[in-house]
Every structure is written in C-alpha cells, then in structure tokens.
C-alpha cells in the first residue's frame, strides 16, 4: 500500500480496491493491517470496492481536528468514475434523497423525506467517451454511503463493474483521486492526487486523458 505521507500525526495512503477502510466493516484485510505498528483513527471512509487516497489520524486530537474540518466543509474529495453510457449533459449537479437499507447493505433514491432519508448532492463533468463508456470527474457535496454509485445508477448510468447497482461484472471503476484538507498540527493546506491504474480496464481506455489531467482545470 502506497503511503504519501506518514508524519506521526496523519497517514495519507492510497487504498487499493478490495481493502476495507477499517477493520470493523467486516472480515478481510484492512488498511490497518498494512500499518500494524501505528494506531489509525478513521475520519472518513471509502467503500471496500473503491480505491483511492485516504487520510487517517494517528492520535485522537488529530482525528477530532480532521472530523471538524469535514463538518465545516473544509475537507474536499474528488473522484474519477467510468459510467456505462453517457449523461445527457456534459456537466451538472445531481441532487437526490437517499435511503440507506442497512440490512440489504444498499442505498436507494426515494421521492419523499422521511425517517432515515438524507439529502445527497454531487457535481460532475464528463472528460471523455470510449466504447460506450464515459469517464467522469466528480466532486461530492455530501458524503452518503454508495452515493456516487446510486445517484448515477438511478439515472440509467451505472458505474462499470458495480454489480450491486447494475454495472455488471469487473472491478468497480470508481477511484478517489484527490484529497485536500488542512494539516491538524501545522494548519498547512495539504493536497494529494493519485491516478487509478491506467494499465487496467476500463481506465486504460482513457489513459491519455488521465495522464494529462491537471487539477487546476478540475471541478
């Protein structure tokens, strides 16, 4: 597992797909297993099937500081996703009401607010199309479970490899490529970027776009 920074206060690493963000999520390997000598405090999560950049606190004070940044919307996450199909609009904002069924481990778009329903919002733009697939960049406004997956799937645009939400077989094509926040000790603005593996399908269909991507032009 690639560590981008590990300074005794925070650990920023690239979580591979198939690895759990934290041990409590179930059986199987977790990020903690790769750092057995370091106590890690989880402040945000990625689905087991989702790879990408994550930050962990290495003590409770830093965990509290990072969690407060999340509450104050000072914590920014951006993703790349490959959709099956093409959105009608090249860019836009998706807003939905989501209900999380914990027993089924699945999230649903619903029409009315009720107990357990939460608002969800994201913005996206398309970066390229190939073989009936569309590479999109996504910025989350809210952080609901399976949010990106279910919001696009409900519009007939499931993510490639997302068998849970209609995307078929294969590795889920969702990757948290960018993360920014303020260092909980120094206050320095921290920015981290990492690309998905462009040797793997379907990312290899967009290798040139991804390798030339500039965060200055991002959402």
State yes or no: pLDDT of 27 exceeds 90. Answer: no
Class of domain 2-217: alpha beta
- Please state which of the ranges 33-37, 126-130, 195-199 shows the lowest mean pLDDT: 33-37
Chain mean pLDDT for the chain:
94
Q: Read off the pLDDT of each residue in 157-161 and give the average, rounded to a whole number.
A: 98
What distances in angstroms separate CA 159 from CA 25, 82, 167, 179, one per listed residue? 22, 6, 5, 21
pLDDT of residue 186: 97
pLDDT at 25 over 60: no
Q: Is 217 a catalytic residue?
A: no
The token duo for 11 is: 């650990």
Q: pTM above 0.85?
A: yes
For tokens 């490639």, what's the residue?
Answer: 160
Q: Please state the domain extents for the chain.
A: 2-217
Check if the beta carbon of residue 64 is closer than 8 Å to that of residue 54. Answer: no
Q: What is the CA radius of gyration of the chain?
A: 17
User: 7, 37, 47, 197: which is the annotated catalytic residue?
Assistant: 47
Cα–Cα dist 8/57, whole Å: 9
**Residue of higher predicted confidence among 204 and 1:** 204
Q: Is residue 71 packed enough to be buried (19+ CB in 10 Å), middle (13-18) or exposed (0-12)?
A: exposed
Average pLDDT over residues 43-70: 96
Q: pLDDT at position 114, please? A: 87
Nearest Cα to Cα of residue 58 among 208, 196, 185: 185
219: confidence class by pLDDT, cuts 50, 70, 90: low
Q: Which residues contact 155 (CB under 8 A, 6 or more apart)?
A: 87, 94
Confidence band (pLDDT; 50, 70, 90) for 90?
very high
* CA–CA separation, 96 and 178 (whole Å): 24
Residue 217 pLDDT > 90: no
pLDDT category, 82, cuts 50, 70, 90?
Answer: very high
Predicted confidence band of residue 52 (pLDDT cuts 50, 70, 90): very high
3-class SS of residue 62: helix
Cross-strand bridge partners of residue 159: 83
Evaluate if residue 39 carries a pLDDT over 80: yes
């Amino acid at each position: 597992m690639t560590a981008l920074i590990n300074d005794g206060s925070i650990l920023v690493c690239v979580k591979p797909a198939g690895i759990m963000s934290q041990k409590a999520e179930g059986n199987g390997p977790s990020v903690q297993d790769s750092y057995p000598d370091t106590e890690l405090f989880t402040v945000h999560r990625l689905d087991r099937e989702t790879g990408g950049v994550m930050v962990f606190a290495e003590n409770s004070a830093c965990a509290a500081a990072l969690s407060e940044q999340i509450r104050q919307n000072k914590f920014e996450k951006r993703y790349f996703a490959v959709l099956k199909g093409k959105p009608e609009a090249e860019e836009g904002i998706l807003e939905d009401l989501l209900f999380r069924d914990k027993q089924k481990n699945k999230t649903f778009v619903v029409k009315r607010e009720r107990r357990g329903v939460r608002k969800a919002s994201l913005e996206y733009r398309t970066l390229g199309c190939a073989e009936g697939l569309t590479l999109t960049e996504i910025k989350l406004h809210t952080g609901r479970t399976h949010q990106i997956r279910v919001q696009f799937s409900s519009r007939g645009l499931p993510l490639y490899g997302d068998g849970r939400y209609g995307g078929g077989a294969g590795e889920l094509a969702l990757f948290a490529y960018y993360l920014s926040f303020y260092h909980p000790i120094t206050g320095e603005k921290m920015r981290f970027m990492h690309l998905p593996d462009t040797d793997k399908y379907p990312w290899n269909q967009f290798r040139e776009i991804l390798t030339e991507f500039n965060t200055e032009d991002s959402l």
